[in-house]
Amino acid sequence: MQSANFYKFALRTYYMEHLILNIKNKGKMPFLMELLKHMEFVEVVEPKKFTAKEKKILADLDEAVEQVNLHKKGKAKLRTLQEVLNEL
């Protein structure tokens, strides 16, 4: 059985930092991607492509969160659970 110190060392050794970039000039994206791919200490992870169904789910979720935030500010009234169940 290995000691707890080994696990702490392993976690420190293999810990990776993540950086998310928002590129303002989309025309520079190919240049930036090529530059990053040539850096041996950088792993470039391509963004996930969402299906139309996944995009719809994310949009609906975003709208739901916005409604909750408006409700918290007193700017929107949400339906009760009973109202939602009666609709089904």
pLDDT of the residue at 5: 52
Nearest to 21 by CA among 12, 11, 13, 31: 31
The domain spans of the chain are 4-87
Handedness of CA 30, 31, 36, 38 (dihedral sign): positive
> In a 3-state reduction of DSSP, which class is residue 62?
helix
Predicted confidence pLDDT, tens digits, the chain (88 residues): 455 555 555 555 556 778 888 888 989 989 998 998 898 888 888 778 899 999 999 999 999 999 999 999 999 998 999 998 998 8
Distance CA 69, CA 76 (A): 9
**Model confidence, pTM:** 0.48
Asked if 78 and 67 count as a contact pair (C-beta separation under 8 A), the reply is yes
